Amino acid sequence: MNILEVIARKRDGLEHSPEEIGFLLDGYLAGEIPDYQIAAWLMAVVTRGMTRSETLALTRAMVASGEVMDLSAIPGFKVDKHSTGGVGDKVTLIAGPLAAACGVPVPKLSGRGLAHTGGTLDKLESVPGLRVELSPAEFVAQVREIGLAVAAQSPRMVPADKALYALRDVTATVPSVPLIASSVMSKKLAAGADGIVLDVKAGRGAFMPDVLSAVELAREMVEIGEGAGRRTVALVTAMDNPLGRSVGNALEVKEALEVLAGGGDRDLREVSVQVAVEMCSLAGIDRDPAATIADGSARQRFEQMIAAQGGRLADGLPEAPVRLPLASPRSGWVEAIDALEVGYASLELGAGRMRKEDPIDHSAGIVIEAQVGDRVEAGRPLAVLHTSSEALAGPVARRLLSAWRIVDHEVARPPHILRRVEGHGPGSAVH
């Protein structure tokens, strides 16, 4: 096979055979095909797209590039959950314990923050002592014992995604349905669960800017999951405004604990419960996850998981030394909060990484005081910035002000769960 011919086929909008896709990935991982040729091919995929069978073949080749988890020692129908990434998205920290408390075994491999979006591993690591690097044996034993583990993916799993993702990140080739779908689903398939619930975010703060493209991505991922023999369902949820009232690692863990204790933000609770409902339904468990908030069992499950991974909640979560309120320039109702701006602001306060090697300030972030739909008076706080120094907070505050759109009329909070996408194998239905 000839690499120039393979790139040219995608440039001209032709369909690859699974052999061609295998040739590209194997050659790239073996160092025989250089970055620039794969970059040219990725750009051709972005502009030309891929058929579903190409995307499935790409996903399968990516899974085959590394190790896969063997979860057979865990009894029951195991369900994983994945979000395509958002701002203030701490749903895993709530839905995981909810589903586990209902009896669903939840083996969850998570990622770190990406661009302006936060990562579950970074959030969990804000708990003093908590380890996310579990060996496969530790991971399986923990799910057997307490029904829930959230850990980092081994670097030996899906190395093709790691290599391709790094290249996509620097060649403007991230936003492509087949590339995102194969990237996400290769990791989910390698992680070994029997069922997968996808939370596909749509809007300003997400990788998919609108509902239609999010539904397209959701449908693609559901079909890949079902095509690979895993029960898969997706919810498309709103990410125009940040989710919940906090953005930043320790702040989000605190908020997750509040929701598990029966408080917290309405949208955050709704989406977390609904994700857990889908997880129970895939596992064939007829229980109401909301009841596990009321009886305290979900919070208890989360605390058990934290303790099992070495976390010491009793030592307290890290708290930022500087808290700077962001005063509202006018009175009115909050119509929108730009999630992308809030994500970048949180990053600049130290909650995320500008470069791969940057350390994270686990205490940094933003607490939203005036949510969409709230009435706010001039001079009252829209948010409070949590960070390590006033010098850092000042410029971020000025920029962050533009994230709030305040209007003179009352505003109803928009619906949060936008679509549900379900597969039934070949010829699947979408609702």
3-state class percentages of the chain: helix first, strand second, coil last, to nearest 5: 45, 15, 40
CB of 43 to ligand URA, least distance (A): 15
Say whether 389 is catalytic.
no
- Judged by CB under 6 A, the residue of 183, 274, 309, 371 near ligand URA is 183
- Catalytic residue, from 83, 176, 183, 186: name it: 183
| Integer Cα distance of 193 and 231 in angstroms | 9
Binding status of residue 43 toward ligand URA by CB under 6 A: no
- Catalytic residue, from 82, 231, 269, 419: name it: 82
Sequence-ordered list of residues with C-beta below 8 angstroms from that of 12, at least 6 positions apart, any chain: none
In the numeric block, the tokens 């979006």 are attached to 117
Binding status of residue 84 toward ligand URA by CB under 6 A: yes
Say whether 116 is catalytic.
no
| Integer Cα distance of 301 and 227 in angstroms | 33
How many residues of this chain interact with ligand URA, rule: CB under 6 A?
8
Q: What angle do CA 350, 353, 357 make, to 5 degrees?
A: 120
Report 312-371 residues binding ligand URA (CB under 6 A).
Answer: none
285: left (phi over 0), alpha (psi -120 to 50) or beta: beta
Residues 204-223, one symbol each (x = binds ligand URA by CB under 6 A, - = not), give ---x----------------
- Catalytic residue, from 10, 60, 90, 187: name it: 187
CB of 250 to ligand URA, least distance (A): 23
Nearer to ligand URA, 158 or 293 (CB): 158
Say whether 168 is catalytic.
yes
- Judged by CB under 6 A, the residue of 180, 224, 251, 305 near ligand URA is 180
CA nearest 319: which of 393, 390, 401, 248? 248
CB of 182 to ligand URA, least distance (A): 8
| Stretch touching ligand URA by CB under 6 A, among 179-187, 257-265, 269-277, 287-295 | 179-187
Sequence-ordered list of residues with C-beta below 8 angstroms from that of 155, at least 6 positions apart, any chain: 162
CB of 83 to ligand URA, least distance (A): 9
| Stretch touching ligand URA by CB under 6 A, among 73-81, 128-136, 180-188, 422-430 | 180-188
Residues 145-174, one symbol each (x = binds ligand URA by CB under 6 A, - = not), give -----------------------------x
Q: Which amino acid is it at 76?
A: G
**DSSP per residue, 294-335:** HTSHHHHHHHHHHHHTT--GGG-----SEEEEEE-SS-EEEE
Binding status of residue 85 toward ligand URA by CB under 6 A: yes
| Integer Cα distance of 151 and 415 in angstroms | 31
Binding status of residue 110 toward ligand URA by CB under 6 A: no
Say whether 80 is catalytic.
no
| Contact status, residue 327 vs residue 379, Cβ threshold 8 Å | yes
CA nearest 252: which of 262, 265, 239? 265
Interface residues toward ligand URA, by CB under 6 A? 84-85, 174, 179-180, 183-184, 207
Q: Which of the residues are catalytic?
A: 82, 161, 168, 183, 187
